[in-house]
C-alpha cells in the first residue's frame, strides 16, 4: 500500500485519508475544544473514493493518520466489452480491464487516451476531485 501520514488536526475538507483500509475523501471535520485534562478530539466524516460509502472516525487531534498516495496514470482504450473497458497502460504497456463509470458511459472510444487513478493497489476511471 502506498501511503504516508499526517496529523489529524491538519486535515481539511477535500483532503484524503484512509479509514477502515479504504481511501476516503474528507467531507467534514469537527474539532472539539480541549477539556481540563483532555486533548482535542477530531470527528472525521469521509466518503470512500472507490465505493462511495460514508465513513466516520473519532480520534485525538494530535495523532497521526494514514493518507493514501494517489497516482494519476494514462492509458489507451483498446476495446469496450459491455460494461467494462479494456485499457493498456502507456508506461509499461500492461493490459487490464475496469468497469465504466456512469459519467463516462457512451463517451469512450477505442484508440483514445484516458486518465485513470491508482489508489491503494486499486484502479479507477472516476475523476477524483479534491
pTM of the model: 0.79
Q: What is the model's pLDDT at position 103?
A: 82
70-124 CATH pick, 2.40.50.140, 1.20.1260.10, 1.10.3720.10, 3.90.79.10: 2.40.50.140
Q: What is the model's pLDDT at position 129?
A: 55
CA distances from 126 to 2, 38, 52, 59, 91 (A): 19, 41, 11, 30, 20
Q: What CA–CA distance (Å, rounded) separates 76 from 73?
A: 11
Of residues 51 and 10, which shows the higher confidence score? 10
**What digits encode the pLDDT tens for the residues 86-105?**
999 999 999 999 998 888 88
**What digits encode the pLDDT tens for the residues 33-64?**
887 778 889 999 999 988 889 999 999 999 99
In the CATH scheme, what is the code of domain 3-68? Answer: 2.30.30.30
Domain-wise residue ranges, the chain:
3-68, 70-124
Amino acid at each position: 500500500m502506498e501511503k504516508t501520514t499526517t496529523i489529524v488536526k491538519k486535515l481539511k475538507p477535500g483532503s484524503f485519508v484512509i479509514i477502515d483500509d479504504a481511501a476516503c475523501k474528507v467531507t467534514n471535520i469537527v474539532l472539539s475544544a480541549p477539556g481540563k485534562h483532555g486533548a482535542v478530539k477530531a470527528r472525521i466524516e469521509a466518503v470512500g473514493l472507490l465505493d462511495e460509502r460514508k465513513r466516520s472516525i473519532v480520534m485525538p487531534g494530535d495523532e497521526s493518520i494514514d493518507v493514501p498516495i494517489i497516482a494519476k496514470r494514462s492509458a489507451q482504450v483498446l476495446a469496450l466489452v459491455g460494461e467494462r473497458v479494456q485499457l493498456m497502460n502507456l508506461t509499461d504497456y500492461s493490459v487490464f480491464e475496469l468497469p465504466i463509470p456512469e459519467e463516462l458511459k457512451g463517451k469512450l472510444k477505442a484508440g483514445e487516451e484516458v486518465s485513470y487513478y491508482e489508489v491503494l493497489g486499486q484502479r479507477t476511471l472516476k475523476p477524483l476531485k479534491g
